[in-house]
């Protein structure tokens, strides 16, 4: 039982670590796909066309976004590693100067006397810790523990899962027929998805939960409204 609880706790901690990427991908996926659906409905396009446009947009934009997230995270890690190699070189080449830089940094933080020397001794005892400390104090760079590949994967997964919501009713309607108003229920389910993502976003940003939900709902409504109007106007213009 204890092992299962530890496993569940570790999984939850890991999810929290990547929650920002999940929210980021989910918001973009839902907004992007719902905008396509709204624009297509505004243009009076057939459900089959909406499904084709929606899935093409979902898969292509989601992949593009996840690749961008991966490359951005990898570039930051590569930059960190490059600067850290420089710090290693300086520690090897000029150890006295680097020790003094550590001492000056912690003196500026309020350490003094014997305590200061103890802190300097602990930090400079391990070169890896020493280099990391110099990176943080000199360059304000802290290594991100998250994997760039995992960041891209979580972003893409979230984009697909949440982005599928606006399309799910149309797929249902196409396969077996939907008993209600398709676009209305697509809106209901989509805004439910927005509310969930907004709730999760509040944990990432630290804002009030209701504010996070309302901000995300407003973003979705604005994107849908603009897309619907553009689709409607273009359909009328082309038809005439």
pLDDT > 90: percent of the chain: 5
pLDDT of 8 > 70? The answer is no
Q: What is the pLDDT of residues 87-109, one digit of tens each?
A: 888 888 888 888 888 888 888 88
Model confidence at 2, in pLDDT bands (50, 70, 90)?
A: very low
Is pLDDT of 26 > 80?
Answer: yes
Q: Are 65 and 28 in contact (CB under 8 A)?
A: yes
Pick the more confident residue, 188 or 239: 188
CA–CA separation, 135 and 124 (whole Å): 13
Token pair, residue 232, equals 């409607």
Predicted TM-score of the model (pTM): 0.74
DSSP 8-state secondary structure symbol assigned to residue 240: -
Alpha-carbon distance of 237 to 239, in angstroms, equals 6
Short-list 70, 53, 1, CA closest to 163: 53
Angle at alpha carbon of residue 89, lines to 85 and 92, rounded to 5°: 135
Helix (H, G, I), strand (E, B) or coil at 135: helix
Q: How far is CA 131 from the centre of its chain?
A: 29
Residue 120 has pLDDT above 50, yes or no: yes
For residue 143, the number of C-alpha atoms closer than 13 Å in the C-beta half-sphere is 16
Task: Write the pLDDT tens digit of every residue in 50-86.
Answer: 899 889 988 998 899 899 989 988 888 888 888 888 8
Res 9: pLDDT: 45
Integer CA distances (angstroms), 160 to 6, 59, 87, 124, 157, in order: 29, 7, 41, 47, 5
* Residue 18 pLDDT: 79
**For residue 156, what pLDDT band results from cuts at 50, 70 and 90?**
very high
Which residue's structure tokens are 């934009």?
61
Banded pLDDT at 143 (limits 50, 70, 90): confident
Q: Kindly state the tokens that stand for 13.
A: 């901690």
What is the mean predicted confidence (pLDDT) over 179-206? 82
Q: Is the pLDDT of residue 12 over 50?
A: no
3-state secondary structure of 177: coil
More confident: 177 or 141: 177
The closest alpha carbon to 220, from 201, 197, 204, 202, belongs to 197
Give me 191's structure tokens.
């805004």
Can you tell me the distance from the alpha carbon of 79 to that of 92, in angstroms, rounded to the nearest whole number? 20
Is the separation of the CB atoms in 219 and 31 below 8 Å?
yes
Confirm if 11 and 195 have CB atoms less than 8 A apart.
no
Task: Please name which of 151, 183, 149 lies closest in space to residue 166, comparing C-alpha atoms.
Answer: 183
């Amino acid at each position: 039982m204890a092992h299962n609880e530890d496993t569940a706790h570790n999984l939850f901690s890991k999810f929290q670590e990547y929650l920002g990427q999940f929210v980021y991908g989910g918001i973009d996926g839902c907004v992007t796909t719902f905008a396509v659906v709204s624009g297509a409905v505004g243009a009076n396009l057939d459900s089959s066309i909406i499904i084709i446009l929606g899935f093409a947009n979902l898969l292509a934009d989601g992949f593009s976004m996840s690749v961008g997230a991966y490359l951005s995270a990898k570039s930051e890690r590569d930059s960190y590693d490059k600067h850290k190699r420089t710090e290693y070189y300086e520690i090897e080449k000029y150890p006295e100067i680097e020790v003094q830089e550590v001492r000056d940094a912690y003196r500026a933080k309020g350490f003094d006397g014997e305590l200061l020397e103890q802190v300097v001794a602990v930090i400079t005892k391990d070169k890896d810790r020493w280099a990391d400390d110099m990176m943080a104090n000199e360059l304000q760079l802290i290594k991100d523990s998250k994997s760039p590949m995992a960041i891209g994967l979580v972003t893409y997964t979230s984009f697909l899962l949440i982005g599928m919501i606006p399309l799910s009713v149309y797929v249902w309607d196409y396969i077996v027929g939907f008993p209600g108003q398709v676009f209305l229920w697509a809106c209901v389910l989509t805004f439910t998805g927005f509310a969930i993502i907004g709730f999760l976003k509040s944990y990432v940003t630290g804002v009030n939960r209701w504010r996070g939900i309302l901000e995300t709902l407003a973003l979705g409504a604005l994107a849908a409204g603009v897309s619907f109007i553009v689709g409607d106007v273009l359909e009328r213009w082309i038809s005439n």
